[in-house]
Chain A
Amino acid sequence: MSGAPRRWPSALALVASLIGLVFGGLSTLDYSRHLDRQVHDIHCSFIPGLAAGGAGENACRAAMYSPYSALFRDRYWGGIPISLFAVGAFAFFASYALYLLLAGPRAPRRAAQFFGAVSLTPLLVSALMFAISALKLGQYCKTCVGIYISSVLLAVSGIFLLLDARSKGAPAPAADKPEGAAEGAGAGRPVGSLWLVPGWLLALGIFTITPTLIYLSALPSYASYITGCGKLAKPTEPNNALLRHTPAGAKQPATLFVDPLCPTCKAFHKRLEADGIFERLDTTLVLFPLDNECNWMLDRPLHPGACLVSKAVLCGENRAVDVLEWAYDNQERLLEGAKSPAGLATVRSAIREKWSNLDACIDSKDTKLRLDRMLRHIVNNQLQVSTPQLFLGDTRLCDEDSDIGLAYSIRKLAPDLRLP
Chain B
Amino acid sequence: MPILETEVRWVKPPTLGLLDRLYLPAIAEGLSTTIKHVFQPKVTQQFPEERPDLPANYRGLHRLNRDADGRAKCVACFMCSTACPAHCIDIVAAPSPWPDREKYPEMFVIDELRCIYCGMCEQACPCDAIELTSMFDLTGVSRAEMMFDKEKLLSVFDQTAGVGKDPVRTKAGALSCASEPNV
A and B: bona fide binding partners = no
